[in-house]
């Protein structure tokens, strides 16, 4: 009778030990952990805060606004950056809104200390790679690149691209990992984390 009552508890304990052992082997034995993110996973995280807006300022005076919306992830094979295009709407100098597309990209960063050692992936060093807006005056165009970049950076600096799922048996180990490599392979973003030295 006592054995029958202890059996479910023992099975649960053995399962937990197996999971902990597998996680420890993964992180400590091989020394690295690979996270693979499909384009739709990255897309879902980016869509959360768009549209983003930023005023166009000239000598401290508001001369217009840039609005980026509907981001579309573009993972280029061999790239270490996550690219995305977005619709771009610019209102400047009291003129009607000009529309086009902006191509942007960001570099992957691992923040081991995010959320008390849980860790998270972010996109940083966002930059405007290309802007295609017909009829945009040259003087306004020189204001758009820094404004668009700043608008995207403000969002990306705060919004994790990926966080380890909870509950995670390897939770205490996430904070000890560092970014080893980032690559786009087979249309998937591959991020390799390794034990810190």
Q: Which of 108, 155, 150, 154 is nearest to 128 (CA)?
A: 150
CATH 3.40.50.11400 fits 32-195, yes or no: no
CB 97 within 8 A of CB 80: no
**Dihedrals φ, ψ of 51, to 5°?**
-80, 155
pTM for the full model?
0.70
Q: What is the pLDDT of residue 22?
A: 45
User: Running along the chain, 197 residues long, what does each successive block of 10 average in pLDDT?
Assistant: 54 48 49 86 85 78 83 89 91 79 91 68 88 79 82 83 64 68 90 78
Q: Which of 45, 92, 42 is nearest to 67 (CA)?
A: 92
Q: Hey, where are the domains in the chain?
A: 32-195
Half-sphere exposure of 63 (CA within 13 A, CB side): 15
pLDDT digits (tens, 9 = 90+) for 168-194: 445 456 557 788 889 898 889 999 988
């Amino acid at each position: 009778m006592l054995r029958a009552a202890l059996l479910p508890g023992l099975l649960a304990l053995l399962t937990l030990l197996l999971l902990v052992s597998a996680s420890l082997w993964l992180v400590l034995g091989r020394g690295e952990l690979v996270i693979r993110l499909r384009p739709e996973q990255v897309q879902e995280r980016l869509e959360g805060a768009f549209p983003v807006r930023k005023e166009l300022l000239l000598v401290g005076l508001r001369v217009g606004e840039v609005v980026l919306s509907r981001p579309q992830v573009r993972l280029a094979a061999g790239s270490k950056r996550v690219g995305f295009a977005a619709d771009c709407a610019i209102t400047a100098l009291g003129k009607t809104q000009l529309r086009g597309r902006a191509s942007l990209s960001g570099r992957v960063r691992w923040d081991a200390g995010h959320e008390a050692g849980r860790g998270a992936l972010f996109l940083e060093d966002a930059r405007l790679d290309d802007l295609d807006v017909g009829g945009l005056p040259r003087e306004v165009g020189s204001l758009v690149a820094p404004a668009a970049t700043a608008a995207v950076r403000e969002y990306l600096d705060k919004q994790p691209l990926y966080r380890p799922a909870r509950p995670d048996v390897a939770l205490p180990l996430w904070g000890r990992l560092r970014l080893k490599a980032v690559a786009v392979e087979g249309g998937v973003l591959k991020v390799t984390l390794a034990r810190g030295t």
